[in-house]
Structure 1
Amino acid sequence: MPIDPHARRFLDMVAIAPSADPARMTVEERRESFVKLMALSGSQVAVGGVEDRTIPGPGGPLSIRLYRPVSDMEAALPALVFFHGGGLVAGSLETHDALCRTLAGESGVIVIAVDYRLAPEHPFPAAIEDANAATAWVMAHAASLGIDPDRIAVSGDSGGATLATVVCREARGGDGPAIALQLLLCPVLDLVAETPSRQEFASGYLLDRAMMRRDLEHYGPCDPLDPRVSPLRAPDLAGMPRTIIHSAEFDPLRDEDRAYAERLMQAGVAVDHTCHPGMIHHFYGLTGIVPAARTSLAAICRGLGDALS
């Protein structure tokens, strides 16, 4: 189907707005533009409570934010450990506050957002180390947090989804509770392949090729073929948890997201993959200006709640 008209109008506005060249964008410019983008997330959804905490991290104290859904249940609830997007160089607890509130409020799941260390100040693999540490901490403290240890999922959007699926792969066969589910929103999965969607939507569709290359430069010295950077390059995906992938029709990442879903299924993993028609990268964060994106996000939340029920 054609691109959503509201998304098209947004992209047209982005095209004429003064902005830095993505190929030369400084870290500060990247972060400032990302904050402006995340302001389009729409109104906040009511939740039962929000709590900021600090937990031990491999590089020092690590900030997390817990979102509790409105619930009168006394039983332990499922949980979602969430890693924000932003190319691993931008984003924070604040930029994704509205999205996390929606995920918690509309799914009935406790959401724990993680403020992992960003590059270039903290290059690869610092973000992965923080993601692993935060997930392990939630699992170890599930009882005191009112969380069912058998229903803990991990999630992220864009670059944060890369972290989520790396956490799942590295957790396979561990001694602790198993990760029940991974929820990946427009994940970055292969920085090497020149897929048709990466070529067709190389510029003008929010996530530019030049921007992705610049983010990789900031991420630090790493091999793009490393499965911790390009999860689709992992030689073995057997034993991964149940997976839900949401991609977008007009996203340069569309084809690698589909390829990852296919590889997981070939490895015997239960996969639910939805490519949202007419949508662009980051559609779940454009709910304030793209009505169809709000409908899609509601479906994402329902699917999350059902998967962890």
Structure 2
Amino acid sequence: MTLHPEIARIVEQIPPASTTPPNPQAMREAEAGQVPPPEDRLPLHDVADTTASTPAGDVPVRIYTPVEADSFGLIVYFHGGAFFSGSLDTHDHVARSLAKETGHKVISVGYSLAPEAAFPTALNECLGVVKWAADSGDRLDWDGRNLALAGDSSGGNFVAAVTAMAHDEGFDRITHQVLYYPSVDLDFDRSRWPSLQENAEGYGLEYNGLAPFNSFYLDNGADPADPLVSPIKREDLSGLPKALIVTAGYDPLRDEGEAYGQRLEDAGVEVTTKRYDAANHGFVANFSWIPEFYEVFHDTARFLNEG
């Protein structure tokens, strides 16, 4: 299957990846300038900004309530952005669609970014928000059943790492993990995964850009050999929550995501894996306006609501 023509038309306009790191502030400002005004966003029953008080400090969160109801399952969502970019606003549309299609209340986490925040600041904040959500059941109208984590790209990395941290601490209230094209191996040796070579150029995210984009995280205490940085390197994956892993056919990170799913399954974890063959890295955030890719939210709903 070829790359979807709408994606191909857009990625053709993207210059080749630079081998030098971008300017974080400039990139964040450029992303912020593309965020649509609130009146143009998917309407929900309620969207509210608040602060989660955690042992890691106060963390900004945005809570999405899809409809008026007495109780909800919860999704704690970690946005992508190579650990240094992305925000509550840039991924607002993803959180809104997650809430609408799953019927769950979504708590999107405005965790601290690299390079200003050193490892493991953001991970501790994310875990803190998960515990805050579990402890705020009455305030959040949690039905006490699903407490899912979801994230895209580096946010998927955080999902994997946070579920492992929670498991190791004996926190067993996380029921599901949803990883969209996750970055689970920050060792960028080109020979490690075939997709790093097959999809190295011309599909948006390029191999040459991986090290520069992730350098802000890796140069601030994140060691690629650490399983909390590269979750696929964790030796024992048993006992973790059931997982949905979504990959893209034209993504350099495709194979590591699918291999992580296989390793989870080999460890006895219930895993659902789906590859969107005509998609590229970032399609949930960038191309879910295309109906066949919006289906990812229906996949997530089925995963969370079955049984």
Partner amino acid, structure 2, of 1:249: G
Q: CA deviation at 1:301?
A: 4.0
Q: CA deviation at 1:143?
A: 2.2
Q: CA deviation at 1:33?
A: 4.8
Q: CA deviation at 1:60?
A: 3.4
Are 1:30 and 2:27 an aligned pair?
A: yes
Q: CA deviation at 1:171?
A: 1.2
Q: CA deviation at 1:31?
A: 2.4
Q: CA deviation at 1:225?
A: 1.2
Alignment CA distance shift 1:30-1:201 (3 Å): farther
Cross-structure match for 2:82? 87
Cross-structure match for 2:196? 198
Aligned partners of 1:48, 1:62: CA distance in 2, in Å? 23
Cross-structure match for 2:261? 261
Aligned partners of 1:61, 1:144: CA distance in 2, in Å? 17
Q: CA deviation at 1:170?
A: 1.3
Aligned partners of 2:14, 2:244: CA distance in 1, in Å? 30
Aligned partners of 1:292, 1:83: CA distance in 2, in Å? 23
Map 1:170-189; keep pairs closer than 5 Å.
Answer: 170-172=165-167, 174-189=169-184
Aligned partners of 1:38, 1:305: CA distance in 2, in Å? 28
Q: Tell me how many residue pairs correspond in the alignment.
A: 299
Residue-by-residue CA offset, 1:176-216 (whole Å, 9 max, x unaligned): 45210001111001122531101122232222223321233
In structure 2, which of residues 28, 48, 61 is the aligned counterpart of residue 51 of structure 1?
48
Are 1:306 and 2:301 an aligned pair?
A: no
Cross-structure match for 1:161? 156
Map 1:242-257; keep pairs closer than 5 Å.
Answer: 242-257=242-257
Query: 2:112, 2:122 within 8 Å by CA — same for their partners in 1?
Result: yes
In structure 2, which of residues 18, 21, 30 is the aligned counterpart of residue 21 of structure 1?
18
Aligned identity (percent) is: 32
Residue-by-residue CA offset, 1:206-254 (whole Å, 9 max, x unaligned): 2222332123321113321111110000000000101001110000110
Deviation >4 Å, runs of 4+:
33-39, 173-177
Alignment CA distance shift 1:139-1:256 (3 Å): same
Aligned partners of 1:49, 1:14: CA distance in 2, in Å? 36
Map 1:1-309; keep pairs closer than 5 Å.
Answer: 1-15=1-15, 21=18, 23-35=20-32, 44-71=41-68, 73-74=69-70, 76-172=71-167, 174-192=169-187, 193=189, 194-219=192-217, 220-287=220-287, 290-294=290-294, 296-307=295-306
Query: 1:286, 1:293 within 8 Å by CA — same for their partners in 2?
Result: no
Partner amino acid, structure 1, of 2:147: I
Unaligned runs of 5+ in 1: none
Alignment CA distance shift 1:173-1:122 (3 Å): closer
Partner amino acid, structure 2, of 1:31: R
Q: CA deviation at 1:119?
A: 0.4
TM-score, with structure 2 as normaliser: 0.90
Q: CA deviation at 1:38?
A: 6.6
Aligned partners of 2:260, 2:304: CA distance in 1, in Å? 23
Residue-by-residue CA offset, 1:78-114 (whole Å, 9 max, x unaligned): 0000000001100110011111001001110000000
What root-mean-square deviation, in Å, do the aligned CA atoms of Structure 1 and Structure 2 show? 2.2
Aligned partners of 1:63, 1:179: CA distance in 2, in Å? 21
